[in-house]
Amino acid sequence: MIRVAEYSVDVVFAAMETTGKAVLPDGLTFRRRSGRLVLFKAKGTTCVTCGIEGNVFIMETHSADITPHLNLYALNDKGDRVLMTKDHIIPKSKGGPNTLANYNTMCMPCNSKKADNLV
């Protein structure tokens, strides 16, 4: 991943409050209706399993991708960045809907352990 810029949680959430395009202080825009971003704003940035808290958004892109996107990261005890994810409480593979009520914030390690098991 290529890192384009970093933003505080407060800056991203404030940009989501605007009407029209969500514009960051440096002029970059993002999809303010992204399911992940809506989840983080509505239910928080803390992993429901281990309690690690996402505290920085990083605008990133793949080398082949021309459209950067925001990812939320936490710092673990070792100082490594941990990606925060949108978890389906009832997994999609078990008929869970793509709705905010069926989403939880989880870090990547916890979400990987859960896989498609019910909590």
Helix (H) or strand (E) holding 13, with range, is helix 9-16
Mean pLDDT lowest among 18-27, 39-48, 77-86 = 18-27
Q: Which has the higher per-residue pLDDT, 52 or 90? A: 52
Mean pLDDT of 24-41: 92
Question: What is the pLDDT confidence band of residue 1, given thresholds at 50, 70 and 90?
Answer: confident
Q: What is the pLDDT of residue 62?
A: 80
Q: State the CB neighbour count (10 A cutoff) for residue 104.
A: 19
Which residue, among 44, 63, 64, has the nearest Cα to 54 in the 3D structure?
44
- CA atoms 43, 47, 49, 50: torsion sign: negative
